[in-house]
Amino acid sequence: VRCQHYPPLRALQASAALRRASDEHKKEPLTSSSQQHFDSPPAGHQPEQEPQGPRPSYTGQGGQESEDYESEEQLQHRILTAALEFVPEHGWTAEAIAEGAKTLGLSVAAAGMFHSDGSELVLHFVSECNAKLSKMLEKEQKLVQLGEAEKKPIDEFLRHAVEARLRMLIPYIEKWPQALSVLLLPRNIPSSLNLLTSMIDDIWHYAGDQSTDFNWYTRRAVLTGIYNTTELVMMQDSSPDFEDTWRFLENRVADAVTMSNTASQVQSTGEAVVQGLMGAAVTVSNAETSRAVR
Amino acid sequence: VRLWRCRCWALLSRPAGRLRASRGLAAGPEMHFGFQSVTEEERREKIYQVFESVAKKYDVMNDSMTLGIHRVWKDILMHKMNPSPGTLLLDVAGGTGDIAFRFINYVRSVRERQLQRKLKHHQNLSWQDIFESYQKDKFNSLGDSQVVVCDINREMLKVGKQKAQHLGYSEGLSWVLGNAEELPFDSDKFDVYTIAFGIRNVTRVDLALQEAYRVLKPGGRFLCLEFSHVSNPLLSRLYDLYSFQVIPVLGEVIAGDWKSYQYLVESIRRFPPQEELKAMIEDAGFFKVDYENLNFGIVAIHSGFKL
């Protein structure tokens, strides 16, 4: 739970909830990202708000330093991050966003800034997870480069990356089917597809893929197939710590690697389709058995 | 003769463009009252008289002028607001209570759904628990939501209170006499501020917007439902025809008051268009200001947040 740094006096700017970036700097060194935001302010802004670059700091009343104010996007990010805590209870909905806004000291009406179907919340979560994954893979790559860790063989690397990424869903696994349906709304498909492909790209990049021929596409397609099917299997997996899911993942990755070893060129989308079919078959059979057991 | 004069006025004022001074934007004491030019004080008085005389027939006239579509507009406004239980709403110029009653209905149904969902989750409650939770929630059917209806005109408030009694709305509702340019409330109090078909009649719109900003909590939302400008030329002509030929006649026939409805139609033409109002709202300090046209711009909903 973040403690709230709200300027008790409104000093020079009328906005009360847009925190001074200086307060945020005290908590996390996010200078570079906040500068990025200031470089591209949303259109239609009045001159009161100063999103362009750092201004000379000076003391307002009460001895507080007034530097840059955060932009609307940053505030929205903070609201969405706070809202994630309420997702297990309320689902991916405007209610969760309203609760999140409340914890930041804002009115519940602030949830009106977002769509009432919770799209932004899901997309925000997915992009946060992808960012976390990237950072993790980058760190591991650095360790390998410094010689402090062994370079993993390709199948183990892929397994490790996909597992790490899917584990981030565990706290929200109950409501994840709802999130998937939100991601498939026509309005959201461009963004969700974008997030998915960039994540797959990242994983292959850190796996050391340097291909510039047709392999590039086939590798992306294969890994996308593996990721999506494993996600579906995880949805209805009730084994302790999702062991069944990881075993499924291991088998799929092994299949993919074997096939690329036996052929000089990985066969294209045919593989992805087969994997998709296998994954669907496993999902269905698991669903049947679990239903039969009940 | 009167009809011809109105059309003449309409044709004359449009090519003359927007006469800034008579738009009521602080240039001087000269303001617009419909297509006439009056001082600030005169304007306030005239508008008060208009609503005093139409108060009793206000709802009937709304239905006949807009063919009942105003109900849809107000419903859309409520859906856009999407209030959750616990919201504190200030409805300014809310006179006869249309927005307030819709708010109460909406919040009540959301609350019911919430309670149902909660009960579904608790699968293993004993009968005692269910009984207790039912007792507790029966007295909280609104979930602590409240709406304050504020209007400058006593007659309109009277009609509103009578309606509330007649329709059975009692809890979560309060009626306050007040001026939108100088609200009798503390700062940072309300979650949502609405003004439906009222801001057009405010003499100093900028002051009203500043007051709206003041009384809203941080994160609070400003919503304005108002007649606006139709950009489609064909539609605009039909709309003008309907407004100037039909509506005052309806006013005379149904409410016995030609002049008030003449004023109404003219005031719509004089009010700033969507983009200009958006700029004014931004000037008052609101962020994420946006508008949504309903019926091609006959009506527009402006929304802004106090961030």
Sort out which chain B residues have CB atoms less than 8 A from A101's CB and list them: 219
A69 pLDDT higher than 80: no
pLDDT, one tens digit per residue, over A89-138 is 889 999 999 999 999 999 999 999 998 889 999 999 999 999 999 999 99
Higher pLDDT, B179 or A209: B179
> Smallest CA–CA separation between B117 and chain A, in Å?
10
B31 pLDDT higher than 60: yes
pLDDT, one tens digit per residue, over B145-179 is 999 999 999 999 999 999 999 999 988 899 999 99
Give this prediction's pTM. Answer: 0.75
Sort out which chain B residues have CB atoms less than 8 A from A110's CB and list them: 219-221, 305, 307
**pLDDT class of B250 with cuts at 50, 70, 90:** confident
pLDDT, mean over chain A:
78
Q: Compare all CA atoms of chain B with the CA of A42 and give the residue at the minimum distance.
A: B288
Is B287 in CB contact (< 8 Å) with chain A? yes
User: What is the pLDDT at residue A264?
Assistant: 54
User: What is the pLDDT at residue B174?
Assistant: 93
A47 pLDDT higher than 80: no
For A197-215, give the DSSP string.
Answer: HHHHHHHHHHTT----STH
Instruction: Tell me the helix, strand and coil percentages in chain A, rounded to 5.
Output: 65, 0, 30
Sort out which chain B residues have CB atoms less than 8 A from A46's CB and list them: 282-283
All domains in chain A, ordered by first residue: 72-116 (no CATH), 119-274 (1.10.357)
B23 pLDDT higher than 60: no
Which stretch, B60-64, B112-116, B230-234, has highest mean pLDDT?
Answer: B230-234
Task: Write out B60-108 in H/E/C secondary structure.
Answer: HHHHHHCCCHHHHHHHHHHHHHCCCCCCEEEEECCCCCHHHHHHHHHHH
Q: Do B305 and A95 touch (CB under 8 A)?
A: no
> Smallest CA–CA separation between B221 and chain A, in Å?
6
Chain position carrying tokens 């291991």: A250
All domains in chain B, ordered by first residue: 68-111+145-228+271-306 (3.40.50.150)
B132 pLDDT higher than 70: yes
User: What is the pLDDT at residue A267?
Assistant: 60
Listed by number, the residues of chain B in 197-216 with a beta carbon closer than 8 Å to a beta carbon of chain A are 213, 216
> Smallest CA–CA separation between B193 and chain A, in Å?
10
Sort out which chain A residues have CB atoms less than 8 A from B305's CB and list them: 109-110, 112-113
User: What is the pLDDT at residue A19?
Assistant: 62
Cα separation, B221 vs A108, in Å, equals 9
Which residue among A105, A106, A113 places its CB closest to the CB of B288?
Answer: A113
Is B189 in CB contact (< 8 Å) with chain A? no
pLDDT, one tens digit per residue, over A239-263 is 999 999 999 999 999 988 887 776 6
Give the largest Cα separation in chain B, rounded: 78
